[in-house]
Chains A and B, each alone.
Chain A
Amino acid sequence: MSILKKTLIASAALALPFSVSANSKLEKMMKDSSQWVQQSGNYAGERYTELDQINKSNVGSMKVAWTFSTGVLRGHEGGPLVIGDVMYVHTAIPNIVYALDLNDNQRILWKYNPVKGGKYPGGETMDRVISVMCCDNVNRGVNYHPNGTIVLHAADTSVIALDAKTGKEKWITTNLHAGTGKYGVSASTGSGQPFIIKDMVGVGCSGAEFGVRCNWTQYDIKSGKRLWRAYSMGPDKDMLVDPAKTTSMLKPIGKDSSLKTWPGDAWKIGGGSIWGFYGYDSKLNTLYYGTGNPSTWNPVVRPGDNKWSMTINARNPDNGMAKWLYQMTPYDEWDYDGVNEMILVDMKVKGKNRKALVHFDRNGFAYTMDRASGELLVAEKYDPAVNWATHVDMKTGRPQVVDKYSTAHQGEDVNTTNICPAALGTKDQQPASYDRLSGLFMVPTNHVCMDYEPFKVDYVAGNAYVGATLSMYPAPGGTHLGNFIAWDADKGEIVWSNPEPFSVWSGALSTAGGITFYGTLEGYAKAVESKTGKELFSFKTPSGIIGNFMAYEHKGKQYVGILSGVGGWAGIGLAAGLTDPTAGLGAVGAYAALSNHTNLGGVLTVFALP
């Protein structure tokens, strides 16, 4: 408790005197549609722009205005920022940041590469970091603080503050030292955005596949000094919860709420990673984020609810104290991480005005909550294929699990089949948008099911701790792996649904022009009418799209930007097969040869009207 008090005083002293101005300045910038100052557009995570120059009547004639190659292969998630006349673009590992001059044909003003001599700032080699990245080499983007700082959360968990003008390092602190071999933090990685609130920057961590105990850590933006850290599981003091005041389903959580739900000290390697897109309400002064899966994936070894994995957290950003928690998937048996974005919208729910939080969970349920109180208002399936639970009990908040699809009920070394959704969820991190015009949420989804066979695995620090074998395929009766849907978060209903051949893995953007943008894994950048879903525009970018759309205005003209980049270079697999028959379409052999000829990797494509 004394530590907590100290933290309280420290954070109050550091944060409060400047907090109001910094906050209001950033929020003012978020309201200026000509810029795109945070990954999600604004704190509410709406991913909506008031720009309407490109609209439903003319988007069909939209053309590529310019492109920028990042020079880095592999998956490019997140998106660029625009601050004034400068665009900031990040890449997959090694997490390069470029500053581009929009006044001068996107000339590179500066380029920052955190990897020097093959090593990240925390001391780990890039190769070692790549080896413990669970899911491709992605990074979900940089963020901006109005004191002229661009913050990067690098793959080795280093938090790096850069001078927005020069790209010079202001400070670096390594959040969780990726390879120190310390019990429980041995293989943490960073892929989530750094999140700016007041004069602080907060980061989560990835690595639930490697037996880490994840946490949210808040730093002072000026010095890089650590202010507080809240673990996803463990003793109350580690989690920054108040047994009497922190609530769940409107009731106090009580003492040792987490410890009671794990066998022995399994919580020490309990996972609960945080790497999605977050929300902040400055009026309620509350930060919202979700925690990921408990580890291992084999549920048999960790009977109990495994709190507070798979949980929506509402916290005071000044001291980290939890206001309320809601666990969506107690005792996860499927890897349905609860990390997805939190969208904060003031809306009518069941006839009553609410400060709502809308969250599309990996587990296939879309939740509408009262973000002030943590009351559960709506929990409905946003893909009819979802079958692991029949429904969510609105009194207890618990999903009603179907035995047939319970991998724990079926047991170790038994292959549980036809579970929907698959581990990648009905939706993964790819963030939805909120269309202010129609009041609908535009949601990129997966339509994939799986067979899941848990097996026993012993934890070895720094090694993968998965403990399940999976195979995935399209949902029964269909041949498509994704849908792009419009969702009514009050009724809990799909309004329209566009089938897509592949999972839709890009973030959406809705605009005052009545249109919504999203991208596909084949690489199509698409625009649909927000009200109906009617496709109005489609353009094939050089690679698959897993980045998020953003918009800005420059010299009176509206632009829309999207990063593409998945796996290797698009043409590679097909054409390279000509020299390396044994590799077939995989064509890894020719890959190296080809990279000598081209520097094509992730590509930012920026569109505008002709």
Chain B
Amino acid sequence: MIKKNIIFLITIFSLTNFFDNNYSYAAETKDFPTLARSEFVFACMSSNANNRDFMAKCSCAIDEIAKRISYKEYAEAEAISRLQLGASPREEAFKSVGLSKERLDKLFRAQAASELECF
């Protein structure tokens, strides 16, 4: 499953020209609150496996994400992804490309990198 995932993510890399990007590290790399990191690890373990191995992998993943984007960017992308699950006019605005896609892509890239580093 994980392997399949990495292959998928590599596809995203190439789609988003990840390797061509000299992406800049967020100015503040340690601004993720512990609560946000814990929540990610909790969700990540819940959807993978509740064991020590995944506690390490998931912790690594969120640390890698936090190195690449600011907490503000993370929170915004998280909000978009959550809203995209909904179906009301409120959510419609977040389904269109442009703004939402840009923000999500940034998170996708960070997430993809974190998976390569940690899994």
Contacts and interface: CB of A to CB of B under 8 A. Distances in A.
Interface in A562-610: 566-582, 584-588, 590, 593-594, 597-598
Interface string B39-65: 110111011101000000010010000
A75 B86 CA distance: 9
A577 B111 contact: yes
Interface string A493-504: 000000001110
A472 interface: yes
A423 B111 contact: no
B75 A523 contact: yes
B28 interface: no
B99 A579 contact: no
Given A578-B48, A590-B47, A571 B91 contact: no
B87 interface: yes
Contacts of B89: 135, 335, 422-424, 470, 472
A479 B42 contact: no
A423, A585, A590 pick with most chain B CB within 10 angstroms = A585
Contacts of A428: 90
A470 B92 contact: yes
A593 B79 contact: no
A570 B77 CA distance: 11
B79 A585 contact: no
B27 interface: no
Contact of B78 (A473, A574, A588): A574
A505 B81 contact: no
Interface in A464-495: 470-474, 479, 481
Contacts of B2: 578
Contacts of A546: 90
B5 interface: yes
> Which among B36, B83, B104 has the highest number of chain A CB atoms within 10 Å?
B83
B90 A571 contact: no
Q: How large is the interface on B (under 10, 10 to 19, 20 to 34, 35 or more residues)?
A: 35 or more
B46 A593 contact: yes
A594 B47 contact: yes
A587 B48 CA distance: 13
A581 B8 contact: yes
Contacts of B111: 574, 577
Contacts of A470: 89, 92
Indicate the member of A424, A472, A578, A588 with the most B CB atoms within 10 Å. A578
Given A472-B93, A473-B96, A570 B78 contact: yes
A505 B46 contact: no
Interface in B83-112: 83-94, 96, 98-99, 104, 107-108, 111
Contacts of B43: 569, 571-572, 574-576, 594
A522 interface: yes
B79 A136 contact: no
B87 A581 contact: no
A513 to B, nearest CB: 26
Given A448-B93, A593-B47, A523 B79 contact: yes
Given A448-B93, A473-B96, A540-B33, A578 B44 contact: yes
Nearest to B87: A136
Nearest to A582: B8
A471 B93 CA distance: 7
A505 B42 CA distance: 28
Interface string B7-27: 011000000000000000000
B39 A570 contact: yes
Given A423-B89, A566-B82, A594-B43, 20 more contacts: A74-B86, A136-B91, A424-B92, A470-B89, A470-B92, A471-B92, A472-B89, A473-B93, A540-B36, A544-B79, A566-B79, A571-B39, A571-B42, A573-B85, A574-B81, A575-B46, A580-B47, A585-B84, A594-B47, A597-B46
15 contacts: A136-B91, A423-B89, A473-B93, A474-B99, A479-B99, A481-B99, A503-B90, A522-B79, A540-B35, A542-B39, A544-B83, A566-B79, A574-B78, A578-B5, A578-B47
